Amino acid sequence: MTETPILRPDVAQLAARIERLVREKIAPYERDPRRGPHGPSDALVNELKALVRAAGLMTPHILPDGSHLTQRETAVVLRATGLSPLGPLAFNTAAPDEGNMYLLGKVGAPQLKERFLAPLVAGRARSAFFMTEPAEDGGAGSDPSMMKTTCRLDGNHWVINGRKAFITGAEGAAVGIVMARSEDGACMFLVDLPNPAIRVERVLDTLDSSMPGGHAVVSIEDLRVPADQMLGQSGEGFKYAQIRLSPARLSHCMRWLGACTRAHEIALDYACRRQAFGKLLIDHEGVGFMLAENEIDLKQAELMIDWCAGVLDTGALGVVESSMTKVSVSEALMRVADRCVQVMGGSGVTGDTIVEQVFREIRAFRIYDGPTEVHKWSLAKALKRRVARVAETAQ
């Protein structure tokens, strides 16, 4: 069992139940041939969800009354689901659904929650978040202000046109959150999927392979959305995106901490069984030191996540704190995953264990939800503003 911080007894027990189910029932599916290059098939995911549903653990971070566990409690739960790359899919804690459920739970009108949120929480539908745009179009990527997708009001409908890229799970999703730009600024819409006006041009071949439907390039042509399916008012899209941003960014850290914890366990077990040059691998200083450094990085990642979660639990947006945590955790976990591959040698680059997949997924994580360099640049700007405020106060 992995260590957990001090929690309410019921949450600690919940995390322990999830961990047991992941290790005993979910992890054996890691060799299932239905884990394709563009993510596990929906048939596989539904089979995993049936196991979780039977155990009464579906969407464990959202309580029956619709409220959420605190971020600190969520961290322990999502880390447990992340012990297998299939865990977040099985327990309905995976991106982008987890972040989309959080957003709709916070800002969705009652009728929108009933129509779009309820099937997501029940684990009977997947969703996609349509924000990023193709680089060749000069569209929004790390800089969302570059958004090219447009929306215009036509009677009681909005008409949306544009292209999107890297849209996780667009193929097979039942709920879409589409961002577009009106004369007032960014807007956010809820749409039913599939829709003939939203066409998947292609599913990209990417380094990672954990998310159903993969990552698609999508064209949107004259998509008509009823006005009451806009979240908030015209021009408020970025405000709502900020509500989703920090918790979803932190959730990535939680899940991948679980994955790297498991990869480290596998590498450690290998090093304690495999012999070379007359002794166990772990008794060679070069290997033993790598595993020791993994322990340090994993603990630092856990503490950063707990710190940022504590900030979010105060009600703060935590933009700066989540940027710091995303950089620190993604870079630390990349080191962990890389060392696990190195310790295991040839075995580490095969699909015989999840170590190779975790390495690929973590490499992609350093880019998803903002590359490390963008977060550092954002933090540098925040530091500059801090110095300016101090200077003003001193005058």
Q: pLDDT tens for residues 113-133?
A: 999 999 999 999 999 999 999
* Single pTM value for the model: 0.95
- Token couple for 219: 């064209």
At 237-283, the pLDDT tens digits run 999 998 999 999 999 999 999 999 999 999 999 999 999 999 999 99
Q: What percent of the chain stands above pLDDT 90?
A: 94
Q: Determine the topology of domain 127-230 in CATH.
A: Butyryl-CoA Dehydrogenase, subunit A; domain 2 (2.40.110)
At 1, the pLDDT band (50, 70, 90 cuts) reads: very low
Cis status of the peptide bond prior to 119, with omega within 30 of 0: no
Residue 165 tokens read as: 């890229």
Buried b / exposed e over 288-319, threshold 16 CB at 10 Å, is eebbeebeebbeebbebbbebbbbbeeeeebe
Q: Which residues pair with 198 in a beta bridge?
A: 220
**Confidence band of 9 (pLDDT split at 50, 70, 90):** confident
Whether the CB-CB separation of 224 and 159 falls below 8 Å is answered with yes
In 10 A of CB 31, how many CB atoms? 11
Whether the pLDDT of residue 7 is over 80: the answer is: no
Whether the predicted pLDDT of 155 surpasses 60: yes
Q: How far apart are CA 148 and CA 186, in angstroms?
A: 10
Q: Find, among 359, 340, 253, the residue nearest to 303 by Cα.
A: 253
Q: What is the CATH number of domain 238-388?
A: 1.20.140.10
Reported confidence tier of residue 395, pLDDT bands at 50, 70, 90: confident
Give the pLDDT confidence of 355-373 residue by residue, as tens digits: 999 999 999 999 999 999 9
DSSP conformation letters of 115-136: IIIHHHHTTS--EEEE----GG
pLDDT tens column, 52-105 = 999 999 999 999 888 899 999 999 999 999 999 999 999 999 999 999 999 999
Q: Tell me what pLDDT residue 5 has.
A: 53
**pLDDT over 70 (residue 6):** no
- Domain residue ranges in the chain: 9-94, 127-230, 238-388
Facing residues of 179 across strands?
Answer: 188
Question: 66 — phi, psi (to 5°)?
Answer: 95, -10
pLDDT of residue 4: 46
* CATH, domain range 9-94: 1.10.540.10
Please check whether the two domains, 9-94 and 127-230, share a CATH topology.
Answer: no
Average pLDDT, the chain: 96
* Best CA proximity match to 174, nearest among 149, 191, 197: 191
